[in-house]
Structure 1
Amino acid sequence: MSESKEKIEMDESRIGGIQVIARACSVMRALGSHPRGLSLGAIAQEVGLARSTVQRIVRALESEAMVEPIRPGSGFRLGPALAQLIHQTHTDIISIARKSLEELSQQLNESVTLSCLSGKQTNVIDRVIAEHELRVVFPMGRSMPMHATADGKVLLSTLNNEQIVEVLGESPQKLTDATHDTQSLLSEMVQIRRSGFATDHQEHTIGISACSILIPTFMGAHAVTVVAPTSRFQMRCEEFRHALEACKTSISKLAGEY
């Protein structure tokens, strides 16, 4: 085989490999945007590929546990292997922040979380649950709507307005009477970007409020959040804010603020 022909075949193989990876990534992004899962046909429509092509990609991803079937004939969702990779990626920040989270929760006697952006959602990657009779228990790894949560809003502030609209769409779901629409959220972003601080006053769940502070590190942007029943939150909001600022300082010293 001539040297030029061999080079052409190597280039074609490389391009083909890149295309396969790109298509697999587009499938996973589509599933990431729909946590409840999608059928093969819906995935194909979402990514603009033939159903047969999507089926081959999904089967390959399923063999690596990157996607999993919801139940027979009901479509697919992101699999456990992806969650494991996310956890491993954030292991360092979890170990660095853990003591500060514990001290924050003990100081306030409220539940606190550490979260990050994951596609078009936020994921709680660590938490400390308060030993309080009336407390909020936040599920680990749960994807939450960013427009209606304190940590989601503070993490969204790292994006520009165009990116926020692309992530949320023009009409994000209204979960309570207090939930922001896109335009009111963009207006709030001005202050959030200035202060690095966001609140959720019953915007996600009636009776629960939260405040969150942005912690940009060399390991990515993270948010620390205090979550409490609204009755206590209203009386202690400023106290929570000052405690979050001290927590940020503590974590930033160890993680390196970006």
Structure 2
Amino acid sequence: MTREAPESGEEGKVGGIQVIARAAAIMRTLGEHPQGLSLAAIAQAVKLPRSTVQRIVCALEAEYLVEAMGPSGGFRLGVAVGQLVYQTQTDIISLVRPYLECLSNWLQESVSLSKQAGEKIQVIDRIVAERDLRVVFPIGVFAPMHSTSAGKVLLAGLDDAAVRDLLPDPLPQMTRNTRDLPALLAELAEIRETGFTFDHGECSEGISGGSVSLDTYLGRYAISVVLPTARAARRVEAIREALLACKRDIERAIGGTACRR
């Protein structure tokens, strides 16, 4: 009688853990690229053979965790990811959603609810504006904290030392408008005074947004208004006022559905 069976079992366990880790790496990569990626691009990002990536992506696709983008090719996160996020965050989402709907209707712009996920923010709910030129983004998407208004209002809750520990230096330049670390720290000092910030195409060209933080008994979140940069400049003050009013309403009576104007 040999001891090969226990060794095989252990090898299988290690192999299973490795597959899960690789699948998680693929999903994180797709979360960072909501526009989708080809199999070759995914393989390059996660540093795995294309054949390995294809097998894992096919398995994830079968569970609706990844979806094909159609004739153009490529893959993105699937609808099941949004469902999982919604289920795990259902309390805060159910409490805040009426306010998000009211905010979106008031401004006629897309709005989102985000939380910190490491050095990134994750969108856990959103309302897409009903108008011709609008910004559409999926639930579950990740974005860098340093180049988004949502990320910056959450970073402002930390001291400068904690921000330096959290973020890489130099900061990745997402667009030509992305701030470097000294400029970011200066902006965070302003946010701590005003409670509001706005980014003009710092994460994605042509997309801007304003945000406030939301402190609740369920944790700290960010509420954002996201809109095309083309009409952002003339709307900053209206967005600031609407966001701060929404923040006051939620923090004063979280769980209510009234939206006072």
Indicate the larger mover: 52-61 or 69-78. Answer: 69-78
Map of 2:196 onto structure 1: 198
What are the within-5 Å matches in structure 2 for residues 20-169 of structure 1? 20-72=19-71, 74-101=73-100, 109-110=106-107, 113-117=111-115, 120=120, 122-123=122-123, 125-127=125-127, 139=136, 141=138, 147=146, 149-157=148-156, 160-165=163-168, 169=171
* Unaligned 5+ runs, structure 1: 254-258
User: How much does 1:164 deviate?
Assistant: 3.4
- Runs of 4+ in structure 1 over 6 Å off: 102-106, 204-209
Q: CA RMSD in A?
A: 4.2
Whether contact under 8 Å (2:104, 2:111) holds in the other structure is no
Whether contact under 8 Å (1:104, 1:243) holds in the other structure is yes
TM-score normalised by length of structure 2: 0.69
1:244 match: secondary structure: helix
Alignment deviations for residues 86-112 of structure 1 (CA, whole Å, 9 cap, x no partner)? 222222212122455567789xx5468
1:160 match: secondary structure: helix
Q: CA, structure 1 residues 140+26, in 2 after alignment: closer, same or farther (shift >3 Å)? A: closer
Q: CA, structure 1 residues 71+5, in 2 after alignment: closer, same or farther (shift >3 Å)? A: same
TM-score normalised by length of structure 1: 0.69
Q: CA, structure 1 residues 5+118, in 2 after alignment: closer, same or farther (shift >3 Å)? A: same
User: How much does 1:21 deviate?
Assistant: 0.2
* Unaligned 5+ runs, structure 2: 257-261
Whether contact under 8 Å (2:65, 2:80) holds in the other structure is yes
Q: CA, structure 1 residues 100+239, in 2 after alignment: closer, same or farther (shift >3 Å)? A: closer
